[in-house]
Structure 1
Amino acid sequence: MKALMVDVDGVIVVHPDPGGWAVHLERDLGLSKARLQEAFFAPHFDDVVHGRAALRERLAPVLAEIAPHLSCDELCAYWFREDGYLDHDLLEQLAAVRAEGYALHLATVQEHERAAYLWNEMGLKDRFDAIHYAADLGHAKPADGFYAAIEARTGYAPGDLFFIDDRIANVQAAQARGWKAALWTGHERLADLMARA
């Protein structure tokens, strides 16, 4: 194996509250989590996360209707900040693997703005060699095109790669392409998962 492909949400980023980043959205910003899901995420986010539409292009008119007191800037700043709890123990394990000569890449379902925030503002660019994300690739996990696009972009063969993700469907899709992959639960050490692969 030459490189590790690492998921972000549920792996590198783990929210301390099982309710996720929007658990206190109504208390903090006066917008119901359910209303935001219904008006924005359900009808629009698939296009946004696949790169077919810009986040603000879809979010701004929704907010104007359901939360006119709230700007895109305010909501995105809150969202990205609240969805930014890093698992430092895993990052240390990954750093040890990188020190052994493995390349570290992020392989994640993100739209452009949060991907840039994770990479630049949260400093993941200092810990990883590259980021591959859905809006940039035009495919989201577990679609085969997501994994194929990463192979084409990096030049790695399937057998060169080890992948961790917190969703079994994503792990199985990687394995179907010939990647070595493991479900990340946080209960096992990364080195043990790699040794079994």
Structure 2
Amino acid sequence: MVDVDGVLVDGRPEDGRHWQASLEEDLGFTSDALHEHFFAPCWENIVLGRAGLMEHLATALQKIAPHVSPAQLVSYWFQMDSRLAAPLLAELSLVRAAGVRVYLATNQEHLRAAWLMEKLGLAEHVDGIFYSARLGAKKPDMEFFARVQAAVGLRGEELLLIDDSRPNIEAARKAGWQALHWTKHSSPGIVRSLCT
């Protein structure tokens, strides 16, 4: 079970910086304004699948940037947050070749989850995706781990989560899973040693 943001996908393609790093320069409004009017009040319900991304984005943009359409911002966001960790993908391919199933386990809303799999091409590298909006639970909530485990039909000790969030790692271990805390200094080679 591999996390996406901060593990398999890490920032802007050109430099790895956060996708909002040039937001004001490129689209004319600040990341603080986006946080205040969109992420802070809306994201929890969106990432849990209780609300739609585009509708809430449209409302927020009317207040902070009426010159930007929701589709325009979503396209910018997804493209700017799409640098793939090629060495880790290569290791995961070797793990899959050895017969180990590899899934994404991530907090995502529906549109970006589909974009990651189809447009960014992660579907070619994994056996499937478990994401919060579809499951109705997000990491580090224990319900996320319970639902994923039930879906794959494995015991906790047979599951390994690779994640960059300490709370997610601790929750996975509490659920009886193995867990690897991923950092920018982590070696992809450790994944194969743990999985095969």
- Paired AA for residue 7 in structure 1: D
1:10 corresponds to which letter in structure 2? G
Match of 2:144 among 146, 152, 164: 146
Q: Secondary structure at 1:6's aligned position in 2? A: coil
- Is 1:32 the counterpart of 2:30? The answer is yes
Give the aligned partner of residue 10 of structure 2. Answer: 14
| Equivalent residue, structure 1, for 2:51 | 53
Q: What is the TM-score with the length of structure 2 in the denominator?
A: 0.93
Contact 1:162–1:194 under 8 Å retained in 2: no
- Find the counterpart in structure 1 of residue 175 from structure 2: 177
8 A Cα contact 2:141 2:171, kept in partner: yes
Instruction: Determine the C-alpha separation between the residues in 2 that align with 1:144 and 1:110.
Output: 17
Letter in 2 for 1:115: A
Structure-1 separation of matches of 2:16 and 2:173: 28
TM-score using structure 1 length: 0.93
In structure 1, the residue matched to 2:100 is 102
Distance 1:143 1:166 in 2: 16
Q: Deviations over 1:138-170 (max 9, x none)?
A: 111100001001011121221111110001110
1:80 partner letter: F
Q: Please report the RMSD computed on the Cα atoms of aligned residues, expressed in angstroms.
A: 1.5
Q: Is the alpha carbon distance of 1:18 and 1:87 closer, same or farther for their aligned partners in structure 2, counting shifts above 3 Å?
A: closer
Deviation at 1:188, TM superposition (A): 3.3
Structure 1 equivalent of residue 132 of structure 2: 134
Residue identity matched to 2:95: V
1:114-133 alignment runs, 5 A limit: 114-133=112-131
What is the CA distance between 1:186 and its match in structure 2?
A: 3.7
